[in-house]
Chain A
Amino acid sequence: MIKLFRSSWWFITISVLIALVLSIMPLPLEIKAWRPDWLAMVIIYWTIALPHRVNIGTAWVVGFMLDILLGTVLGIHAFAMALVVFVTASNFQKLRNFSVWQQAALIGVFLLLYHMVIFWLNRFLVQINFSLDLLYPAFTSALIWIWLFPVMRGYRRRFKVR
């Protein structure tokens, strides 16, 4: 039992670490604004699949790490991530039964919320102006989700993460 608990966490941590690396990996200037929210998607996936493992607490901690990595005010990404996972975890049973396409559309909406929250908090703390490209990642993420969901499911089944 203890062993199982440990190995599950191990695989979840690896996937989160990969997502963290992907979120700070340098990208060419032309596609920089379209960077998908790898971390948010991975966390959302685990929340849908294993809500008793990954939940608001994990989301907050992981979002906090993203804050450190991106150099934002500590707590901004953490809060946005916790909010999105709160919405996801409240509806995880519905989300599980949707097709990938429906899920993708909803993930897009969740991530719009995620980026708006980050923008609002930043706006409140530093003077910044809204530009539409802040929301591009939500669209790319929705598209990527169609590919990412089966990949993550395969990963979970292959390593029997429970």
Chain B
Amino acid sequence: MNPIFGAGPSLPLRFFFAFVISVITITTDVYTDSSKQIRTYLNTLVAPIQYLASLPQDAFDAMAKYAASKQSLLDENEALRKLQLMQNQKLQKYDMLKAENDKLRALLTTNPRAESTKEVAEVMAVASNPFTQSVVVDKGSSNQAFEGQPVLDDLGVVGQVVSVGNTTSRILLLTDQTHALPIRVLRNDVRGILQGTGNINRMELLNLPHGTDVKVGDRLVTSGLGEVFPEGYPVADVIEVQPDVTKPFMRVIAKPVAQVDRIKHILLLWDEGQREEMK
């Protein structure tokens, strides 16, 4: 019943099996695409644990909301009203400009820019492994989230969806060192690839020849060339340019516009009509 010499294969043999299976899963996950589907099932499977882990934080947030004083709520309300007024005023102009732009594009016989569908998702309070910069959000394939989906916050690009579960999905932040996206400089349309460094405040422009017209303070926006991110969303601001001619390329450091380290609400983006097709 409680055998000292347990039945079954010997320890080294068991370990050998574990080793072989690990090698198989690691190679499948890294070198093939077949793990995407599997990951969806697995993410769905562990989602309850994630919801459970984020529960204390959620409860704490709810309590903080409940305990907020009336005066602070009134102040906040006032500030938000002002903000809305300002933004509405901008929107009025935007509608006019959009109509004008569509007309001009029609004159050039190019397609008008498509509108995108958005949905707000909340970042769940769960930790991720320290080697990657990713967050888990509370929307998944049941909300038509998909792999490679662009993710924004109110300021700019945040990253993209890398794996989807039924009710959760994981977002790779654009500052992760495995993440890169095509950008252009808003001022003069110089194109480039912006890669994360693993540092929350630093991203690097890759392979930019010396003498390229990039200055400190330039705004970098998505160029839409990678066909993941739609065109024209703000990504980062250049904070440092090192024209060191002994190096093969110019070193340009940029800081993401989105507050990547303190995101709570994010926007998932769909192309026009794409979401309805997925339903």
Contacts and interface: CB of A to CB of B under 8 A. Distances in A.
A144 interface: no
A151 interface: no
Contacts of B19: 79, 82
Main secondary structure of the interface of A (DSSP, over half): helix
A68 B39 contact: yes
A16 to B, nearest CB: 10
B46 A79 contact: no
B222 interface: no
Contacts of B94: none
Interface residues of A, number: 44
A127 B28 CA distance: 19
A125 interface: yes
Interface stretch (A50-58, A104-112, A152-160): A50-58
Nearest to A60: B18
A26 B22 contact: no
A2 interface: no
B22 A70 contact: no
Contacts of B227: none
A74 B128 contact: no
B49 A69 contact: yes
A90 interface: yes
Contact of A52 (B3, B14, B49, B128): B3
A72 B25 CA distance: 12
Contacts of A20: 49
Contacts of A21: 49, 52-53
Given A82-B15, A82-B22, A52 B134 contact: no
A26 B162 CA distance: 21
Interface of A: 17, 20-21, 23-27, 32-33, 35, 51-52, 55-57, 59-60, 64-65, 68-76, 78-79, 82-83, 86, 89-90, 121-122, 125-128, 134, 162
Closest 9 CB pairs between A and B? A75-B25, A79-B22, A82-B18, A70-B129, A75-B26, A86-B15, A56-B14, A74-B29, A26-B125
